[in-house]
Amino acid sequence: MKIKIDANFVMMNKFNPPIFLEVEEGSTLKDLLERIQSIVLPIKVLDHKKNPGDDLRRIILNGRTFLPTEIGDIPLRDGDEVFVEIFMEPLGGG
């Protein structure tokens, strides 16, 4: 299955959304976040126990918003669109 991923951040030469990831049939939103986590380290999308990480703020799946505590085993379908929002510290002042 092909899933479109967008996000509120970019990691130069590693993660430049929107991107498309192939996932196995029967994959869940949490499985997808594990794949994203492996790409965007050191950002904490998930923690070492595969629970929502400190940086994850919300996920939008096909227009429906989920808080990190709600991701559980939500199944994915071919063509789904996922937006991942993380907390970002301000980079500079004014």
What residues make up the domain containing 32? Answer: 2-86
Q: Is residue 10 part of a domain?
A: yes
pTM of this prediction? Answer: 0.89
**Is 86 a residue whose pLDDT tops 70?**
yes
Q: Tell me the C-alpha distance between 11 and 37, whole Å.
A: 12
Q: Give the closest residue to 28 by CA, choosing from 60, 73, 66.
A: 73
What are residue 63's phi and psi, to 5 degrees? 90, -5
| pLDDT for the residue numbered 92 | 67
> Residue 93 pLDDT > 70, yes or no?
no
**Could you tell me the CATH number of the domain that includes residue 37?**
3.10.20.30
Query: Percent of the chain, pLDDT > 90?
Result: 73
Which pLDDT score is estimated for 9?
93
Report the pLDDT value the prediction gives residue 19, as an integer from 0 to 100.
96
Residue 94 lies in a domain: no
Residue 92 lies in a domain: no
* Token duo for residue 2: 């092909």
pLDDT mean over 40-62: 92
